[in-house]
C-alpha cells in the first residue's frame, strides 16, 4: 500500500471532529467541496468507506472510527513536537491550556495547578472554565491540554478521551458565627431544617449529598445553589448557611473563609479527574498534577 497522503488524512480528521463539512470548512479554511474531495481520495486510497450520511450530518463508519483514532494520535504527536521545538528554541514559557469543570472547588483547583508554576520549564497557564461536555469538545479539538472534572468521561460522550483519577476526598460541612455553634452539636441531625448552601444539581457532589441526606432522613432548608464554589463559600462565611468543603482543603477553608468545621459527611466522597486524549499519560503537566494530587490525598 502506498504511503497515506497526510493532507487527505488531515481533511478527514477535521470533518470527523466537527461532524459536518460546513463546520470543518470553517476550521481549516477550505471549501466544503474541497474537503469532500479530499475525503473521497482518502477513502479511495484505503479502499474503505469512512463516513455515512445521517440526516444533515456525517457519522463515522466502524472503519472510519479506526482511522480517526489513528489520525488523532498522529496529529496530537505532531502538535506536541511543534510545541516542544518552539518552546525549546525560544525559551518562552510553555503554554498549558487547562479546562476546569464548573463543579470543582476553586481551592482544590489552585492546590492542583500551583505546582505547575514551579516546574523547571517555565509554564504559562491558560484556565478555561465551562461545563464538562463543552470542555471535552475543546479537548478533542486540541484547544486544551487536559480537563479537570468532578466525574470521568461519560460513556456516551462520543469523545475519545481517557479519565485519570487524581484525588479523592471526604466532605466536611462548614458554617460561620452563631450558626456554626448551633449546628456543631448533634451533627448531622442538626442539619434538619437548617439553612444550607449547596452546589447545583449538575455536579457529582450535589448528587452524592442529596443521596446522603435521603439515607439519613435529613431535609435541610436549601437557601441557595451555586455553580461557583467560591461564591458559595463567600455566602457561607457571611453566615447564610452551612456549606460543603473537600476535607483536603479544610485548613485553607478555615483561613480563607473564616468558618469552622461542624462535621463530616461520612460516606460522601468528591473525586477530581484529569481527562486527556492519552490513555497513558505522557504530558509533563499532567504528570506533575499527579504528584501534586498524591500530596493532597495524604491530607484527605
Domain ranges of the chain: 6-73, 92-166+273-297, 168-270
Instruction: Using the predicted structure, report yes or no on whether residue 91 has a pLDDT greater than 70.
Output: no
Instruction: Using the predicted structure, report yes or no on whether residue 254 has a pLDDT greater than 60.
Output: yes
Name residue, grid cell 437557601. 223
Domains 92-166+273-297 and 168-270 equal at CATH topology level: yes
Q: How far apart are CA 263 and CA 274, in angstroms?
A: 29
- The CATH homologous superfamily to which domain 92-166+273-297 belongs is Periplasmic binding protein-like II (3.40.190.10)
List the beta bridge partners of residue 167.
272
Residue 299: per-residue pLDDT? 45
Instruction: Using the predicted structure, report yes or no on whether residue 80 has a pLDDT greater than 70.
Output: no
Q: How far apart are CA 132 and CA 121, in angstroms?
A: 29
Q: At what angle do helices 229-237 and 106-113 cross, to 10 degrees?
A: 120
Q: 227, 233, 274, 271: which is closest to 250 by C-alpha?
A: 233
Instruction: Using the predicted structure, report yes or no on whether residue 243 has a pLDDT greater than 80.
Output: yes
Q: Which residues contact 274 (CB under 8 A, 6 or more apart)?
A: 146, 147, 148, 149, 163, 164, 166, 281, 286, 289, 290
pTM: 0.64
Instruction: Using the predicted structure, report yes or no on whether residue 198 has a pLDDT greater than 90.
Output: yes
CB-based contact 66:26 (threshold 8 Å): no
For 30-69, the pLDDT digits (tens) are: 788 888 888 889 888 888 888 888 777 788 888 888 888 8
DSSP state of 154: -
For 132-170, the pLDDT digits (tens) are: 888 988 888 888 889 999 889 887 777 778 898 988 899
| Burial annotation 32-58 (CB, 10 A radius, 16+ → b, else e) | eeebbebbeebbeebeeebbeeeeeeb
Say whether 55 sits in a helix, a strand or coil: coil
Q: 154, 131, 143: which is closest to 201 by C-alpha?
A: 131
Instruction: Using the predicted structure, report yes or no on whether residue 235 has a pLDDT greater than 60.
Output: yes
Q: Does domain 168-270 have CATH number 3.40.50.720?
A: no
State whether the Cα torsion 237-243-163-65 is positive or negative: negative
Domain 6-73's class? mainly alpha
Q: Which residues contact 258 (CB under 8 A, 6 or more apart)?
A: 176, 237
Amino acid at each position: 500500500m502506498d504511503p497515506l497522503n497526510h493532507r487527505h488524512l488531515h481533511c478527514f480528521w477535521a470533518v470527523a471532529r466537527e461532524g459536518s463539512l460546513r463546520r470543518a470548512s470553517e476550521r481549516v479554511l477550505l471549501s466544503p467541496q474541497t474537503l469532500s474531495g479530499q475525503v473521497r481520495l482518502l477513502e479511495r486510497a484505503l479502499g474503505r468507506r469512512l463516513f455515512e450520511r445521517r440526516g444533515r450530518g456525517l457519522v463515522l463508519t466502524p472503519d472510519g472510527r479506526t482511522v480517526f483514532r489513528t489520525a488523532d494520535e498522529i496529529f496530537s504527536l505532531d502538535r506536541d513536537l511543534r510545541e516542544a521545538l518552539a518552546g525549546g528554541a525560544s525559551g518562552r514559557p510553555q503554554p498549558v491550556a487547562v479546562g476546569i469543570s464548573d463543579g470543582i472547588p476553586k481551592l482544590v483547583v489552585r492546590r492542583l495547578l500551583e505546582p505547575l508554576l514551579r516546574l523547571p520549564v517555565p509554564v504559562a497557564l491558560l484556565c478555561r472554565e465551562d461545563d464538562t461536555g463543552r470542555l471535552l469538545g475543546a479537548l478533542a479539538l486540541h484547544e486544551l491540554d487536559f480537563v479537570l472534572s468532578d466525574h470521568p468521561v461519560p460513556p456516551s460522550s462520543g469523545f475519545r478521551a481517557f479519565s485519570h483519577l487524581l484525588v479523592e476526598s471526604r466532605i466536611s460541612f462548614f458554617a460561620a458565627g452563631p450558626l456554626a455553634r448551633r449546628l456543631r452539636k448533634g451533627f448531622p441531625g442538626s442539619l434538619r431544617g437548617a439553612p444550607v448552601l449547596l452546589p447545583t444539581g449538575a455536579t457529582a457532589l450535589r448528587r452524592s449529598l442529596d443521596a446522603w441526606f435521603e439515607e439519613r432522613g435529613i431535609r435541610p432548608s436549601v437557601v441557595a445553589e451555586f455553580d461557583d464554589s467560591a461564591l458559595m463559600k463567600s455566602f457561607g462565611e457571611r453566615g447564610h448557611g452551612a456549606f460543603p468543603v473537600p476535607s483536603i482543603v479544610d485548613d485553607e477553608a478555615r483561613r480563607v473563609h473564616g468558618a469552622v468545621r461542624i462535621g463530616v459527611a461520612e460516606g460522601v466522597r468528591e473525586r477530581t479527574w484529569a481527562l486527556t486524549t492519552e490513555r497513558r499519560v505522557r504530558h509533563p503537566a499532567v504528570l506533575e498534577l499527579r504528584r501534586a494530587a498524591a500530596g493532597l490525598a495524604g491530607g484527605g
